[in-house]
Chain A
Amino acid sequence: MKKYEFLDHTADVKFLAYGKTLAEAFANAAIASYDVMTDVKKVKAVEEKTIKVTSKKKESLLYDFLEELIVLTDIEGFLLSKVKAIEIKENKSNFQLKATILGDNGDNYDVHTYIKSVTYSDMFIKETPTQTTLQVVHDI
């Protein structure tokens, strides 16, 4: 199964990400985001980080999760290589995400595009019992 695919957008970057579960689609959205910035296949998995996000809705969870990654890159120069583990828990009033990610320092790579921010533009999350599809537009 395809993990993600880029779509046409006049000024920015738009993609669909897929997964058997919501968590897997989120992980693939993370990788797609780094595919925007650099040749993500070349990034080495040498550093491990943990990300925890709590948000009220699924869409805001996706927004906040991707924003955490963008901030990590902006402040620390960290580039993601893969998502080692990811878990999304649905509580009564919110959603909780915990992810362990692997990557490397951006100084070692050609980083060609910087994501200014994730947006809500055209965002959707569609879930069936066997598959999740989500769509994201990043402002670059």
Chain B
Amino acid sequence: MAIKAKKLNDHTYIVEKQGDMKVPLKIFANEELMKKIEGDECLQQGINTASLPGIQGFSIMMPDAHRGYGFSIGGVAAIDAEDGCISPGGIGFDINCGVRLLQTNLHKDEVQEKIQPLLDALFENIPAGVGAKAQLRLTPEELEEVLVEGAQWTVKKGYGTQEDIENCEENGKLTQADPSKVSDLAKKRGRGQVGTLGSGNHFIEVQYVNKIFNKETAKTFGITEEGQVVVLIHCGSRGLGHQTCSDYLRKMEEAFPDIIAKLPEKDLIYAPAKSEIAKDYFAAMCAAANYAWANRHMIGHQTREAFKKVFGDKVEIHTIYDVAHNIAKEEVHMIDGKEKKVWVHRKGATRAFGPGRKEIPDKYQKTGQPIFIPGSMGTSSWVLAGTEHAYEESFGSTAHGAGRVMSRKQANETWKADSLKKELEKEKIIVKAASWRGITEEAPGAYKDVDEVIEVSDKAGIGNKIAQLKPMGVVKG
């Protein structure tokens, strides 16, 4: 069936309510990105999401949307937390996959000179790739603590600083976490992986500030000049999170055969808000999210150590912020003029809260929260600021990345690792990878143009441009 999306303006499309849809579908995209979204069968997933019980306002798709499981990647849904439902496929297997950005007091020129030893030090400090062994192996008791306390546990153990915690979504800890709802198998997978990067599209990138678009806000974020070096960390909850998602998909499948029978896609399975499983999954998901924050926090600490090894004690590194882009949050939004408690599912979408919202740190109260959108390997990444307008438009959410357009199979057939590496080196981008075959799958050409995604977010007013970052060195899992 051809899906008809109506163009509302230069950056928004609407699919009106039809069939089982309870709300319309809203897509943030320009014409170019819309063509890519239409070519990927993911509009149907946005429509399927619009049929979930208790969904409010709109089913939303971001400009970087592509095909996922149940929800599309780049999908947002605010669902009634009392009478609606929660759907693990609306969060993703990598619970609290997200991004942390660190700022340094170093300039591009001095880092460029030592980029190779720096990447070597990062690679040594932060285990990457499959089966990588963490420096930290947790006892079962310690793992329980991590699931409850998240990044705060790592600070208590002497890794990183209190300031890192303050500059982190939820201060690195969701209080609704309950480790007893996480399976033993998931815990077993989690014990040896805090402070490891994993593989796939996860990376640590050493970048410099290429262009500042809003000086005042950038300064509040700690971005003071063009040429300043920053570090972007992209990873998630590793095996523990993947297992938690899988466990609850299977549990819901067994518990709700009647729901499954009516769904267009099995991965869209959900648990009604009032059911025990919904509560258990939410508590387990929060625990897995805490694990991911501990993981990114630990990697932040290991990054700081690696910089000190190469540049000495004069290096100062501060966490700007840390954002989740695969998560469901219990939030209060204005719906039809009334405050309502909803579970905002953000799957491949970033929270984009504007000024004044109590959930964001004091220092960002006037600017709105920082948002980080990583580009594909070798292209720009972006710092945005959340807006008040985003509450009305997208339940306080914006995009999360460039979004794939080409399959990994095709990418492997199109590029060779050697020549891709040389091409990047020509642009002064050095890559160090756990495996070289993985690198071709992440070739910049396999992704959409992140700059276009950012233009849409900025024009739609759901995340404003603050600074553009360019890569110098990449450590890839």
Chain A residues with a Cβ under 8 A of chain B: 6-13, 37, 56, 60, 63-64, 67, 71, 73-75, 77, 106-107, 110-114, 116-121, 123, 137, 139-140
- Chain A residues near B405 (CB, 8 Å)? 10
Contact A121:B69 (CB < 8 A) given known A113-B438, A113-B441: yes
- Chain A residues near B243 (CB, 8 Å)? 71, 117
- Cα of A115 to Cα of B101 in the assembled complex, Å: 26
- Cα of A56 to Cα of B67 in the assembled complex, Å: 29
| Interface: B366 (CB within 8 A) | no
- Cα of A89 to Cα of B437 in the assembled complex, Å: 39
- Quick check: B189 and A114 within 8 Å, CB to CB? no
- Cα of A60 to Cα of B66 in the assembled complex, Å: 26
- Residue in chain A with minimal CB distance to B437: A112
- Count how many pairs of residues, one from A and one from B, have CB atoms less than 8 Å apart in the complex: 109
- Cα of A67 to Cα of B189 in the assembled complex, Å: 12
- Quick check: A121 and B265 within 8 Å, CB to CB? yes
Instruction: Please report which residues of chain B, range 428-460, place their CB below 8 angstroms from some CB of chain A when the two chains form the complex.
Output: 434-438, 441
- Chain B residues near A74 (CB, 8 Å)? 131, 189, 239
A134 to chain B, nearest CB (A): 15
- Quick check: A113 and B69 within 8 Å, CB to CB? no
- Quick check: A111 and B435 within 8 Å, CB to CB? yes
- Chain A residues near B477 (CB, 8 Å)? 114
- Cα of A60 to Cα of B434 in the assembled complex, Å: 33
B65 to chain A, nearest CB (A): 11
- Quick check: A73 and B93 within 8 Å, CB to CB? no
B333 to chain A, nearest CB (A): 29
Contact of B249 among A7, A106, A120 (CB under 8 A): A120
- Quick check: A67 and B66 within 8 Å, CB to CB? no
- Quick check: A116 and B130 within 8 Å, CB to CB? no
Binds A, one of B160-168, B385-393, B407-415, B462-470: B407-415
List 8 extra interface pairs beyond A11-B67, A107-B131, A119-B69, CB under 8 A. A8-B410, A10-B404, A75-B239, A77-B130, A112-B438, A114-B129, A114-B477, A116-B200
- Chain B residues near A117 (CB, 8 Å)? 93, 242-243, 245-246
| Interface: B266 (CB within 8 A) | yes
- Chain A residues near B66 (CB, 8 Å)? 10-11
- Cα of A116 to Cα of B201 in the assembled complex, Å: 12
- Residue in chain B with minimal CB distance to A55: B250
Contact of A113 among B199, B246, B266 (CB under 8 A): B199
- Quick check: A60 and B130 within 8 Å, CB to CB? no
- Cα of A37 to Cα of B441 in the assembled complex, Å: 13
- Cα of A136 to Cα of B392 in the assembled complex, Å: 39
| Interface: B68 (CB within 8 A) | yes
Contact A113:B200 (CB < 8 A) given known A11-B73, A67-B246, A74-B239: yes
| Interface: B121 (CB within 8 A) | no
- Cα of A73 to Cα of B242 in the assembled complex, Å: 13
- Chain A residues near B276 (CB, 8 Å)? none
Contact of B40 among A10, A13, A77, A113 (CB under 8 A): A10
- Quick check: B435 and A75 within 8 Å, CB to CB? no
- Residue in chain A with minimal CB distance to B246: A117
| Interface: B253 (CB within 8 A) | yes
- Chain A residues near B404 (CB, 8 Å)? 10-11
Contact A111:B409 (CB < 8 A) given known A117-B245, A121-B267, A139-B69: no
- Chain B residues near A118 (CB, 8 Å)? 246
- Residue in chain A with minimal CB distance to B265: A121
- Quick check: A120 and B200 within 8 Å, CB to CB? no
- Quick check: B69 and A114 within 8 Å, CB to CB? no
- Chain B residues near A67 (CB, 8 Å)? 246
A16 to chain B, nearest CB (A): 13
Contact of B407 among A8, A64, A107 (CB under 8 A): A8
B154 to chain A, nearest CB (A): 22
- Chain B residues near A140 (CB, 8 Å)? 200, 408
Residue with the greatest number of chain B CB neighbours at <10 A, chosen from A10, A117, A139: A10
- Quick check: B199 and A112 within 8 Å, CB to CB? yes
- Quick check: A106 and B130 within 8 Å, CB to CB? yes
